[in-house]
A and B are shown apart, each in its own frame.
Chain A
Amino acid sequence: MIGRIIKISVINVAFGLSCYLNGQELLPVVLDTTLANEQLNIVGNAFTSSTSIRNEFSRKFLFGGEIEESLAKKVAKRQKDYNRLGGGYRIRGEFRAKNQVFKAHPDWSWMIDITQEAHLSAEFSDELIGLGFVGNEMYLGKEVTVAGTAARWDQFLAIGGGLHNRKTKSFVTLNLVLPQSFFEVDVAKGYFGFSELGDHVTAEIKADIVRENPSLYFKGVGAAVNFDFNIPFGSPETYNGIIGVTARSLGFFSIHKSVFSKVETQQDFSGLPLDDIINTEDFGGLVDSLGVNTYRKTMYRMLPGFFQIGKVVSAHHPKKIQSFFGVRMYATKGYKPLIYAGAHYQPIRQFSLGVQGAFGGYANFRLGFYLNYTTDSFVVSAGSEDVLGMISKSQYGHSGLIRIAWEF
């Protein structure tokens, strides 16, 4: 059991370190306003969170294994009328040069950044989980509603460049976005009715399904902006108060010639005539009869980026304890505005830690924690926005964050 907890904890942290590697962008930035040399930064994060899916269930998808019938039934029973789920990872690397770009602005220099990101967001009814993971047997004699279900999966690569301020650490980059995979389903109308004996099924579905085109190389194109604007206030020597305005992957993209399926059907099904079973070798006609109309269409979507504004902490603050707080919003359906607040403790120059509480997003309340270790040329930070989720299977999410910076 202890080994299992350790493993989960390590893997949670390793979200960031591994393919889920990402970073400190979602934890308070410890702002050092001294003039920076050339920097190589890798930041990453990975998370799952939900209002109703507990970790004992979601970990089956993260680490594999069989979902026992009892667990599936328990999870189905715990769902509310409206539920949310989110997950994903972001790995972002950036190089910040020290060369002066503008004569009039000696602190500004150029930088490049590259981001690999995947994001899942979903809203769903309780009965959808029951149907998907338990089956329809428990709904015999009942009606099941899946209306309002929406889910979207994005995976993309972004490459760009821009300017950064070597002193305030503000930056802005413009990025070319190359979508890698995309899936979206939106159910406007959806219910199933099952007779007591299971010999009669009624269904009314009105839904749109979009998938990326099957091309191996080109699936679309887009543009996004990343920026940090750190606006100091208070004492100029210490910048003991700094407002940070942050955006990542804020932009849009096109899904070139996406496979768009429009489902609009009203079915009253008691079984097929025997002749249809015997004589039909290709069931394409049956699919057509279900009211599925598929065609190609270029779609435009907002990227699942986020915007955040809040107070950040300073590396040279005279007090050992600082506060931070803010609000974050993702450009995805199902993500509610997330409010966070926390305390940062820096007992010595090389080391600091902090805790935070957050409410909103794809989940409800979550408790976060992080650690920073700094040398003259190296910074490593790790943390989680859901500490309890790292160790408890009864929680509703996971979070891992990492930042590694090398100054030379």
Chain B
Amino acid sequence: MKISVFLLLITLLVVGCRKEKTSWNTDWVVPLVNDSLLIKDYVSDSTLAINPDQSIQVVLDKRLFDLDLSDLVNIPDTTVEQIFSIQISSLVVNPGFTFINEIEEHNFSFDEMTLLEARIKSGVATVRVENPVATNAVFEVSLPGVMKNGVEFSHTEVVEGGTQTNPGIGVLELNLGGYTIDMRGVNGNLYNLLQSKLIVTSDPNGEQVTITNQDEFKFAVKFENLQLDYGRGYFGNVFFSDTTTVDLNEFKKIIGGNVVIDDLNLELVIKNGIKASGQANITLFESINNNQNTSIALDHPYFGQLLNLNAAQGVWESITPSELKFAFNNSSGNLKYFLENLGDEYKMGYSIEINPHGNSSAGNDMLFPKSNIGIELKADFPLKVGADDLILQDTFKIDFKNDAKLIQVKSGEFVLKTTNTFPYGAEVELFLLDENEQVLKSLLSQGGISPASTNSSLNAHVPVESELKFVVNEETAEMLMDTKSILVRAKFSSTYLNNNIVYSNAALKFVLLSHLKLKATV
């Protein structure tokens, strides 16, 4: 009897604790994204400007590349070692007695360059001195002709005594940044020289000591990482040649369609900021559209020709680079087609030669802190772009966290509300991608973004409101669990094919709302 009762209890215990899950659905309307794309935001970064008629002007001044001047004037790392000793067999030295006072010249080894004067932008000289006598010695290291703010470089170091086999050692690291170096040597008529002066004095507080001609006071200096920001001399005949590539990754998102660009005005400028003459040649300027496998090389009558590049004018802060300009517009060459190719990759081939005719400046080539050599792209034209089914697509990582199981999206819709004052409209399609970026489902919007029309005063576009809906049915909602990214594909078309003026009130304001039925399970 008692056993039966307890068995009944255990049975009920097991049955009573078993329970299926509880679930319910809730309806939520929540804003997800609220943002706006304003043309005025791009006016402030000097890329665009507003004309008096409120139309937008493209004002571009972009440096395509700069030549590294360290390739032009490069001081290699150099180490110089010297040994000083007295000229007589021995000498009894009293405390505070100077027994070495020598100036040495160190020659920098340049191929063709002859530097008369230079200013160090950065770099160090590491000095190592050895004291072979028993008492301390005072080493005074100075660099004649190396000046900063009118003061010659000088440093004093007390080095402990030692022996001939085990000398006392002192190591100094000297920061040469900001120092101007007269490289003409002791007599002022040479080049590429750096002087050093070493004075060795016995310890003023030490004892009398005997020095022999076997005692070698070694001096080594190592110049490392010297960078110049000023140089005068002859820089040699230097030739640069390269093909540089500029990637415009944003354009890789354009996978189809066409644009029509009107009223173009573009300028390519080679600038020489050093006081040395040269020659330049643009060999190639090519637009490559990798999505559509098209490439167009820009035409210009001077491309491929060796053109003279004058020396810069002025000195120091007033240095004015010389310019070599290549102008393009709608009526010259193929610029329109070059740009309408919408290349995501641009290749530019060039060569620049400095001093092609040798030392024509008689050793007066100069570079200053602001000197550089480079190529700039300048544009100044009204923004009039037509779009014809221009397709942009991009992928965004997303995780709906449906693995949490507590709350899952059951069905619903995403609603995109827009207010548009651009002369461009769009249809939008979303693709749900799995972890292997395979398409699970596509969601085509119900409705599209309408392009705006100009107002009667022809100085702005009239805002047009649109609503796009993306319906998420139960089948799609289940796929959200496996969705790891969303590909957004938008197909743009302009109000007109040509001459779509963009005005200063151009903006796309949008709010993305979710209206979802969520299933909670506990």
Question: Footprint of B on A, CB under 8 Å?
Answer: 11, 14-15, 17-21, 60-67, 69, 72, 132-138, 140, 194, 197-201, 269-275, 277-278, 281, 378, 380, 404, 406
Report chain B residues within 8 Å CB of A273.
33-35
Among A63, A199, A277, the residue within 8 A (CB) of B19 is A63
Beta-carbon contact of A19 and B23 below 8 Å: no
Further pairs besides A198-B513, A273-B33: 15, Cβ < 8 Å: A17-B8, A18-B13, A65-B20, A67-B22, A72-B25, A136-B29, A199-B34, A199-B513, A200-B31, A201-B31, A269-B31, A271-B33, A272-B33, A274-B33, A404-B9
Beta-carbon contact of A14 and B20 below 8 Å: no
Among B16, B29, B33, B397, the residue within 8 A (CB) of A20 is B16
Complex-state Cα separation, A200 to B16, whole angstroms: 46
Report chain A residues within 8 Å CB of B26.
72, 132-135
Chain A binding surface, main DSSP class? mixed
Report chain A residues within 8 Å CB of B21.
64
Among B16, B25, B29, the residue within 8 A (CB) of A18 is B16
Report chain B residues within 8 Å CB of A271.
31-35, 511-513
Complex-state Cα separation, A320 to B25, whole angstroms: 54
Beta-carbon contact of A137 and B27 below 8 Å: yes
Given contacts A135-B518, A272-B34, contact A21 B9 (CB under 8 A): yes
Beta-carbon contact of A198 and B31 below 8 Å: yes
Beta-carbon contact of A60 and B33 below 8 Å: no
Beta-carbon contact of A17 and B16 below 8 Å: yes
Report chain B residues within 8 Å CB of A135.
26-28, 517-518
Beta-carbon contact of B27 and A18 below 8 Å: no
Given contacts A136-B30, A272-B32, contact A281 B9 (CB under 8 A): no
Beta-carbon contact of B33 and A65 below 8 Å: no
6 A-B contacts, Cβ less than 8 Å apart?
Answer: A17-B9, A18-B9, A18-B17, A198-B31, A199-B34, A278-B396
B284 smallest CB distance to A (angstroms)? 35
B121 within 8 A of A: no
Complex-state Cα separation, A197 to B34, whole angstroms: 14
B460 smallest CB distance to A (angstroms)? 24
B12 within 8 A of A: yes
Complex-state Cα separation, A140 to B515, whole angstroms: 12
Per-residue 0/1 for B68-99: is the Cβ within 8 Å of any A Cβ (1 yes, 0 no)? 00000000000000000000000000000000
Beta-carbon contact of B33 and A18 below 8 Å: no
Complex-state Cα separation, A269 to B32, whole angstroms: 9
Among A132, A201, A275, A404, the residue within 8 A (CB) of B30 is A201
Which chain B residues in 213-260 approach chain A with CB under 8 Å? none
Beta-carbon contact of A67 and B34 below 8 Å: no
B449 smallest CB distance to A (angstroms)? 15
Among B13, B15, B16, B22, the residue within 8 A (CB) of A65 is B22
B5 within 8 A of A: yes
Report chain A residues within 8 Å CB of B23.
65-67
Chain A, Cβ-Cβ closest to B521:
A66
Beta-carbon contact of A14 and B31 below 8 Å: no
A282 smallest CB distance to B (angstroms)? 11
Given contacts A62-B19, A271-B35, contact A194 B2 (CB under 8 A): no
Complex-state Cα separation, A132 to B456, whole angstroms: 52
Report chain B residues within 8 Å CB of A63.
19-20
Report chain A residues within 8 Å CB of B14.
18
- Which 6 residue pairs of A and B lie closest in terms of their CB atoms, listed nearest first? A18-B16, A271-B34, A198-B29, A64-B20, A135-B26, A67-B24
Complex-state Cα separation, A321 to B391, whole angstroms: 89
Complex-state Cα separation, A270 to B511, whole angstroms: 8
B106 within 8 A of A: no
Complex-state Cα separation, A404 to B2, whole angstroms: 11
Report chain A residues within 8 Å CB of B32.
271-272, 277
Chain B, Cβ-Cβ closest to A377:
B2
Complex-state Cα separation, A337 to B122, whole angstroms: 84
Most buried by B among A17, A138, A278: A17
Complex-state Cα separation, A364 to B16, whole angstroms: 27
Among B17, B33, B515, the residue within 8 A (CB) of A19 is B17
Given contacts A64-B22, A134-B26, A198-B515, contact A19 B31 (CB under 8 A): no
Beta-carbon contact of B417 and A199 below 8 Å: yes
Beta-carbon contact of A14 and B35 below 8 Å: no
Chain A, Cβ-Cβ closest to B510:
A274
Complex-state Cα separation, A275 to B513, whole angstroms: 17
Complex-state Cα separation, A19 to B14, whole angstroms: 8
A305 smallest CB distance to B (angstroms)? 24
Chain A, Cβ-Cβ closest to B517:
A135
Chain A, Cβ-Cβ closest to B26:
A135
Given contacts A137-B29, A201-B30, A269-B31, contact A21 B511 (CB under 8 A): no
Most buried by A among B13, B17, B26: B26
Chain A, Cβ-Cβ closest to B511:
A199
Chain A, Cβ-Cβ closest to B9:
A17
Given contacts A199-B511, A281-B397, contact A274 B29 (CB under 8 A): no
Among B12, B29, B397, the residue within 8 A (CB) of A194 is B29
Beta-carbon contact of B13 and A19 below 8 Å: yes
Complex-state Cα separation, A138 to B26, whole angstroms: 10
B38 smallest CB distance to A (angstroms)? 13
B157 smallest CB distance to A (angstroms)? 53
Chain B, Cβ-Cβ closest to A278:
B396
Report chain B residues within 8 Å CB of A404.
5, 9
Report chain A residues within 8 Å CB of B17.
18-19
Report chain A residues within 8 Å CB of B13.
17-19, 21
Complex-state Cα separation, A66 to B522, whole angstroms: 11
Chain B, Cβ-Cβ closest to A130:
B26
Per-residue 0/1 for B467-501: is the Cβ within 8 Å of any A Cβ (1 yes, 0 no)? 00000000000000000000000000000000000
Given contacts A66-B23, A67-B24, A277-B396, contact A18 B513 (CB under 8 A): no
Complex-state Cα separation, A378 to B8, whole angstroms: 16
Complex-state Cα separation, A271 to B513, whole angstroms: 8
A311 smallest CB distance to B (angstroms)? 31
Complex-state Cα separation, A199 to B418, whole angstroms: 12
Report chain B residues within 8 Å CB of A136.
27-30
Report chain B residues within 8 Å CB of A72.
24-26
Among A15, A137, A275, the residue within 8 A (CB) of B28 is A137
Complex-state Cα separation, A220 to B50, whole angstroms: 69
Per-residue 0/1 for B504-522: is the Cβ within 8 Å of any A Cβ (1 yes, 0 no)? 0000000111010110001
Complex-state Cα separation, A142 to B19, whole angstroms: 37
Beta-carbon contact of A69 and B25 below 8 Å: yes
Report chain A residues within 8 Å CB of B396.
277-278
B175 smallest CB distance to A (angstroms)? 41
Complex-state Cα separation, A274 to B34, whole angstroms: 7
B426 smallest CB distance to A (angstroms)? 15
B413 smallest CB distance to A (angstroms)? 12
B152 smallest CB distance to A (angstroms)? 55
Given contacts A17-B16, A271-B34, A274-B35, contact A133 B24 (CB under 8 A): yes
A67 smallest CB distance to B (angstroms)? 4
Report chain B residues within 8 Å CB of A275.
35
Beta-carbon contact of B2 and A15 below 8 Å: no
Report chain A residues within 8 Å CB of B397.
281
Chain B, Cβ-Cβ closest to A133:
B24
